A and B are shown apart, each in its own frame.
Chain A
Amino acid sequence: MAEVNWGGLNIKWSSLNNQDKKEYGGGLTLMLIASVVSGVILGGIWGERLTGQVDTMTWLYPYMYPFAMLGFIGGAKLMTNFMQRQDEGFVDFNIKSNIYGINFFWIVGFLIAWPLEIFMGWDFVFMEYFLLYALGVTIGGRKVYKEMYVIDINNET
């Protein structure tokens, strides 16, 4: 069964069985590859807009989309398989910390980032929104971990 440590931000690798490791590691790897491919596509599309330089690689991006999509779908499938085998406490922890991330993302996105784009002309590219989400998950993960598990470390009998 997967356990979390380091304030809830990391899955404890030693608590995973071999199948868990394959699927969790494989899922993360596929997601990383898909993110890199997406980054190249988005960088190409937005780079032209931001820098004004003509991008000679534009023809390539439509062919790269399927690989990014397949990477995300495959990664999500592996992560779903992994989560389905975990116990309900672990799933509950992840749902709670992700809800913090999503709420943080929407609240800060709508209240700060979006108005800055509309009224101040700031250019928030996708990376900034992703960082908002990541920050929210980080805060939420730590908070939920403290609520759910920290007593455990001190009071285990």
Chain B
Amino acid sequence: MNNNLKKLRDELNLSQDAFGSKVDVSRQTINSIENGKFDPSLPLAMKIAKFFNSKIEDIFFT
């Protein structure tokens, strides 16, 4: 699964660490998601989408 998390995060000028603390996960988890090494659970994907005020499918896609 692909995502544009890094692009969205960069737009807000947030570091991985800062963004991780906004959605209650570690910097390493954000990094793994951005690099496509780990697919987030549905609750985390929803939390991320809510943070960016977007739909899940606008952030995560295949």
Residues on A lying within 8 angstroms of B by beta carbon are 1-4, 15, 87-90, 92-93, 147-149, 151-152, 156-157
Most buried by A among B6, B10, B28, B29: B28
B53 in contact (CB, < 8 A):
no
Max chain B CB contacts within 10 Å: which of A89, A92, A149?
A89
CA distance A88 to B20 in the complex (A): 12
Residues 18-51 of B, flagged 1 when their CB comes within 8 A of A and 0 if not, give 0010001111111111010110110010000000
> Contact at B29–A89, with CB atoms within 8 Å?
yes
B residues in contact (CB < 8 Å) with A: 6, 10, 15-16, 20, 24-33, 35, 37-38, 40-41, 44
Instruction: Decide if A151 touches B31 in the complex (CB within 8 Å).
Output: yes
Chain A interface mostly helix, strand, loop or mixed? helix
8 Å CB contact of A156 from B16, B24, B29: B16
Least Cβ distance of A79 to chain B in Å? 18
- The listed residue (B10, B16, B25, B41) touching A152 by CB distance below 8 A is B16
Interfacial chain A residues near B6, Cβ < 8 Å: 157
Q: Which residue, of B15, B25, B29, B30, has the highest number of chain A Cβ atoms within 10 A? A: B29
Q: Give the Cβ gap from A146 to chain B, nearest Cβ, in Å.
A: 10
Are B16 and A89 in contact (CB-based, < 8 A)? no
Q: From B26, B35, B37, give the contact of A1 (CB < 8 A).
A: B26
Tell me if B26 and A2 are in contact (CB < 8 A): yes
